[in-house]
Structure 1
């Protein structure tokens, strides 16, 4: 199992290898790099695709603190890119992964060739969400996510995916993964709930940027993506007609098409 020692912990990662430009995927809360399986399958012939699990999530090591804060997760992203020697890279972050991507583009732009922000926001968690999310996290911590999965699934997935009879088996698989999530995931959830906003820093981003959002995302509504697009000079906004907060799974074909078009327009690295 490939584990990378960075900053006092070990991060699980997968690397497709190959000669293509590196494309790093950074996942959303409660999931892992597996949420990008369909993107890696579609793009690995053209790009060196790298997925990784944030500390305290997926198959990365436990981090015994009360809160895995966003600055720590961002610094892990820096350390991973540097340790693998893949900078400057294309970087695609979904939700929590987008929090990492924005910080990279603002503070370490030399590490990025392009930035994809999926289902994410530069704002703190909306105040109206905090009490509910804290309650769900309390239950998950002490009893497990299976007890709150029926409430979390509609946050994580859009209406089309949840209601499509033809996708019942796929939906059941993702609900199973949610229910079987590690019990210490509450530490990472605290990091998202307590995160600081970075909207005031967005004007510093000069990296070519795609902002991608599904029309059915209720966790990070499309207006948040529009706000990002307005603040990041030269960014491209794509609002998909379907897809919720886990669009890489729900609407892989739409996501892959948007990624392919955007990445093809990014100037290639100089060779020789």
Structure 2
């Protein structure tokens, strides 16, 4: 396992003896992405949020040939450090891929999967979007990259109605923007993750795959295909919400998430927890 697993920033919220829910963000990697879900979860569940290695408060330099499997290894070490033996994994996009990989490699650690706008393999449209994002970063820099980012994440009407919040978010993201190499190597890793049908068939964990019909980055058909390839998955497609649907439609997503957690109850026990770094 990578030494980078030791450098992850994580924190625990909610009752220490509750079922553990892990929230894993997408490409940006920041645990702060899940702010709309935390109030709904932490009253009952022990919620672990973390910043992926090389992002946010975790820091570190991502090595060449970094993979989604490395990210899953890092998460597994974090779970052991946090005293979480078996968890619900909630993942957005890349975070969902990490969850699938973790469930494939150590199925005893993952009691359920809730996958938001994830995929089994990137299609031509998604590859084109990432190519554009790479070009923006290389040729125009982080500020231009972040200015364009809402176009990939949110529906147009929502962008127009939340312009002030988006400006604040862009300023916050720019202040903590990862190194160019870190971001590009994370992009490369997620695009390279293309598990075989046999690999996905081994993931027996109960899963809910949530997609948005107006996702401008990962078409809803990718969520549908992923659900078909996972043996114990169901799919739900929301009519609106964009790629970051848990941000734009938090009440709908939270209701679906809580219902999913109720369907996949885990045994609870007293945990010897450690303080988050």
TM-score (norm 2): 0.86
CA contact (8 A) 2:22 2:90 kept: yes
Matched, 1:55 2:53: yes
Distance 1:261 1:62, change over 3 A: same
Distance 1:56 1:68, change over 3 A: farther
C-alpha distance in 1 between matches for 2:196 and 2:58: 26
- Aligned-pair CA distance for 1:217: 1.0
Distance 1:222 1:21, change over 3 A: same
| 1:117-142 C-alpha deviation (Å, 9 max, x unpaired) | 1111011x334544653453254257
Task: Give the stretch that moved more between structures: 231-240 or 99-108.
Answer: 231-240
Q: Which residue matches 1:144?
A: 141
Distance 1:129 1:212, change over 3 A: closer
C-alpha distance in 2 between matches for 1:83 and 1:232: 29
| 1:222-256 C-alpha deviation (Å, 9 max, x unpaired) | 11111122122232212122211112211111110
CA contact (8 A) 1:7 1:79 kept: no
Q: Which residue matches 1:223?
A: 221
Q: Which residue matches 1:157?
A: 154
CA contact (8 A) 2:126 2:218 kept: no
Q: Which residue matches 2:169?
A: 174
Q: Which residue matches 1:183?
A: 179
CA contact (8 A) 2:126 2:217 kept: no
Task: Give the stretch that moved more between structures: 193-202 or 11-20.
Answer: 193-202
Q: Pick from 74, 77, 91 the counterpart of residue 76 of structure 1.
A: 74
Distance 1:229 1:143, change over 3 A: same
Q: Pick from 263, 267, 275 the counterpart of residue 265 of structure 1.
A: 263
Matched, 1:15 2:12: yes
Secondary structure class of the residue paired with 1:148:
helix
Stretches of structure 1 lacking an aligned partner (at least 5 in a row): 1-5
- Aligned-pair CA distance for 1:178: 4.1
Higher normalized contact order (CA 8 Å, seq sep 6+, divided by chain length): 2
Distance 1:67 1:175, change over 3 A: farther
C-alpha distance in 1 between matches for 2:269 and 2:147: 51
CA contact (8 A) 2:68 2:193 kept: yes
C-alpha distance in 1 between matches for 2:220 and 2:125: 17
Q: CA RMSD of the aligned region, Å? A: 2.3
Matched, 1:95 2:93: yes
C-alpha distance in 2 between matches for 1:147 and 1:270: 46
Structure 1 stretches of 4+ with a deviation exceeding 6 A read: none
CA contact (8 A) 1:70 1:191 kept: yes
Distance 1:132 1:81, change over 3 A: same
Secondary structure class of the residue paired with 2:267:
coil
C-alpha distance in 2 between matches for 1:271 and 1:32: 28
- Aligned-pair CA distance for 1:145: 1.8
CA contact (8 A) 2:92 2:116 kept: yes
